[in-house]
Structure 1
Amino acid sequence: MLSDKLVKVLYTAGTVFDNLRSSELSTRSFLQSGDDSGIVSRADLDLLNDLRDAAEIAVHHKSVQSPVSEAIVNEMHRAMTRSAALRPGKLRTKEQNIGVSTSYGRHMPPALEPGEIDGLLRSALTQGDRRRQAAWIFVLLAKAQPFEDGNKRTALLTANIHLPLSEYLCAPFDPDDIEVSRKFQDLLARAYVFDEIDPVVDYLLEYGLIIGE
């Protein structure tokens, strides 16, 4: 069964990145027991099934402390068959012309070649301690947009694999303060467009890091 902390990771990922509308309580009930009575839409059900399937892979790799790798990133993305990319686990191509619209303009990173995700991960692992490295993993993978869709949720799960067993990184979210997630999205957009990575890394660690089983 997924832990409460990992459920929170998935809930915040779904809410902040993918417009999840089901409540945190209903999300926990579904992810931990399969009770879908509180899930409000087919879109939410598909998203949560995908997050659960990818998270089970992340749990395995986190439990054995696997070094993060392109193979693991692809494995988790490939598990999300319902709500992410049309071709799960496949790198997007230059011809697809996929980008991300932000308030600072459109972010159009180059399509990655096989092996380049490993290069991004190696770069992230040069940054400070494991917590900071994990936050960098998230930002660099999200910024690179290696897949057609589902990049941020894949990046967040990858970051969590790198953290120690008792530590988890969530998407910053506060149900009582919408500015928490708005600020995070703004800082992430600035990382995309202006390459300002440290501010969003700092924010992730301040508002997204949780510790405990």
Structure 2
Amino acid sequence: MTDQDLFKDIQNGVNAIISTGFTVQGIIAINQQFTNSPIEAHTLPGHLRNYMYNEEDNVHMIAERSYSPNRRLYTLPEIVTEGILQEMIDRFDTSEYTTKDGWRVFADLAKMQPFQDGNKRTALIAANEAMGAFETQDFLVLPLQPESNTKFIGLLMRYYLTDDATQQDRLLDEMVSLTPGTVEQEQVWQAERDRLESIKKLSTRRVKPFWGGNQEFRQRYLKNLPDDQDL
């Protein structure tokens, strides 16, 4: 998967849910846009998993990053229906719309793994739409620092493994504490803008920036999760 393919999928997914809103069809529409990656070429974008219909939808996931042979497996729900997605939306609609409530949408949707692939990206885009972030520009952004990002993923894995509401609530508090606030996000984005500006001023070299501009930089951090597992 190239960055260009990934950015295109993300942008298409964002546009899809902005047009549809935070609804069941909006969530499905996000995932339907993930068609540019060769890795996902053989999956069914937008298809809700149903083991009774498709054996490939029955998935077990390693939920601990260790080399122990006793690593715990997370068994995904065999069937994900539109009704299950609606229940999640209804819970959010009756919440106080706090940042934590937005991250709960992300964690619950990621844990649900409703699609064959692209679930983390779908969950993050959906959570941002739920919070109105594409209008306010106050994004839910995953940890920008590697150490914090690793801790966040570890907490998310533990969230997958428990159905206890009290424990989930505590894990969410820890996850939210690791995410960057508006000030930290702006500092990082300003540093990137400064870096790109300094590259433009170079007259003795031809340098191609890794990010094609601040918009793509923001998109990169909308998907700031490892690509080796679709947790």
TM-score by length of 1: 0.68
Report 1 or 2 for greater relative contact order, CA contacts < 8 Å, sequence distance ≥ 6: 1
CA RMSD of aligned residues (A): 2.4
8 Å Cα contact 1:127-1:136 kept in structure 2: no
Q: Which amino acid aligns with 1:82?
A: N
What SS is found at the alignment partner of 1:82?
A: coil
Tell me, which stretches of 5 or more residues in structure 1 are unaligned?
1-41
What SS is found at the alignment partner of 1:107?
A: strand
Which residues of 2 match residues 15-164 of structure 1 at below 5 A?
42-60=1-19, 66=21, 68-83=22-37, 84=40, 86-94=43-51, 95-96=55-56, 97-103=58-64, 105-110=72-77, 111-164=79-132
What SS is found at the alignment partner of 2:139?
A: strand
Tell me, which stretches of 5 or more residues in structure 2 are unaligned?
65-70, 187-231
Q: Which amino acid aligns with 2:24?
A: E
Larger Rg: 2
Match of 1:185 in 2: 153
TM-score by length of 2: 0.63
Percent identical residues = 27
What SS is found at the alignment partner of 1:169?
A: coil
8 Å Cα contact 1:99-1:109 kept in structure 2: yes
What SS is found at the alignment partner of 1:100?
A: strand
Paired residue total: 164
Match of 2:144 in 1: 173
1:124 CA displacement: 3.5
1:57 CA displacement: 2.5
Match of 2:168 in 1: 197
1:210 CA displacement: 4.1
Task: Spell out, residue by residue over 1:58-107, the C-alpha distance to the aligned partner (whole angstroms, 9 max, x if none).
Answer: 4446xxxx4x2111000111011123471111111223212322115121
Summarize the Cα distance change of 1:172–1:202 in structure 2 as closer, same or farther, 3 Å threshold: same
Task: Spell out, residue by residue over 1:106-130, the C-alpha distance to the aligned partner (whole angstroms, 9 max, x if none).
Answer: 2112121232111122224444433
